[in-house]
Structure 1
Amino acid sequence: MFTVPNILSFIRLALVPVFLVLVIMGYDIPALIVLVVSSITDFLDGVLARRLDQVSRLGQLLDPAADRLFIFATLIGLAVRGIVPWWLVTVIVGRDVLLLVLGITLANFGYGPLPVHHLGKIATFCLFYALPILMIGQAFPAVAFVSAPIGWAFALWGAFLYWWAGVIYIIETLRVVKIPRVA
């Protein structure tokens, strides 16, 4: 449980509320620093888990949980400040609620969660770039004319891919639950 990668994931989880408070209060540069530290620990926990042969089920749960929480915290913080519209928050959170419902459905049929689809990873990657790029424009207004269009391109593409992956998960869940279980 207390492997280096898991400790890094716990640190990322602990940084989520710090980050959210900084964003909401308008401390964009410190918030960006926390986001950079979080991104570095995200990268390191994956690399170290593989290199040190410390891949664990806990780590496989903590890493995506921290990713999702950072995305939610960033979206909510930026929406509270009026930087991103609430409909974007609804689109992103709505897809994750859908995945939660699919997970419960699979569990009710005796299955575990579906494997992560590459499209979902790409969507998350886009959102991970979109939100910090939008924040850079807030922290450094002189570059907003460049960062805003790039950030929005990543955000819209990420939201689209997020739902495209969601549709794939729906189809896969329907396929799996139709398979007769062998007693």
Structure 2
Amino acid sequence: MATDRILTIPNLLSLLRLVGVGLFLWLLLDVDSPGWALAVLMLSGFSDWADGKLARLLGQSSRLGALLDPAVDRLYMVAIPVGMAVAGTVPWWPVITLLAREVALFATGPLLASRGITALPTLYIGKAATFALMCAFPLILAGSYSGVVASVLHAGGWAFLLWGLGLYLWSLVLYWAQTILVMRAMPRASARDADATPDTQ
């Protein structure tokens, strides 16, 4: 059961992942150290898996974690491809696709808020897409070096990227379908609150 706790191990891991976004961009673009940037991505991917696992094992699920974890995931999904595109490691077209998906998903927020809903439940297909993309970019980054192994990693990274993009776009369709269902089934939040207020006259 989600609680109002803030100081939990999963939340700490999510905050460390948040710091890792800036560290990754600094290492990749300023220091020009793709190897260390890759290490940050690998640690971030592990902590992304660990915070959910620990939340269940330790009974430390929280409302903050339910909001923070997907928010950090989305930030990574923007910062990592943009940083790698700026560095010339990936072309811009998959980056623009991801950004367009994020903008389209963000557009559901005001619609849901009008019905008194802050967010829809996370879809497993969205988690699978995030997993694929979190595998794709480190593999592509590792494949930026020369050699046979790097070539294999680069090809694997692109396979994960195309798979992740497909799942990511499909999850957008499902989120929008859920949003439309919510808009049709639920009245506006103000009207619902007015109906719930006792008539004192």
Same fold (TM over 0.5): yes
Deviations 1:92-145 (A, max 9, x none): 11111111111221112222311112211111111011101101112x422222
**3-state SS, counterpart of residue 185 of structure 2:** coil
Asked if 1:7 is matched to 2:12, the reply is: yes
Letter in 2 for 1:19: F
Deviations 1:40-76 (A, max 9, x none): 2222211211111110011111111222222222101
Letter in 2 for 1:131: F
Deviations 1:138-157 (A, max 9, x none): 2x422222012111111111
Report the Cα offset of residue 174 of structure 1: 0.9
Q: Percent identity?
A: 45
| Matches of 2:22 and 2:167, distance apart in 1 | 27
2:23 aligned partner? 18
Q: Tell me if the contact between 1:23 and 1:74 (Cα under 8 Å) persists in the aligned partners.
A: no
Question: Within 5 A, what are the aligned runs for 1:8-87?
Answer: 8-25=13-30, 26-87=32-93
Report the Cα offset of residue 165 of structure 1: 0.9
Question: TM-score when scaled to structure 1?
Answer: 0.92
Letter in 1 for 2:20: L
Question: Within 5 A, what are the aligned runs for 1:1-183?
Answer: 1-25=6-30, 26-138=32-144, 140-142=145-147, 143-181=149-187, 183=195
Q: Tell me if the contact between 2:115 and 2:186 (Cα under 8 Å) persists in the aligned partners.
A: no
Letter in 2 for 1:56: S
Give structure 2 stretches of 5+ with no counterpart: 1-5, 196-201
Instruction: Identify which range, 128-137 or 171-180, moves more after superposition.
Output: 171-180
Q: How many residues align?
A: 182
Query: Displaced runs of 4+ in structure 1, greater than 6 A?
Result: none
More helix by share: 1
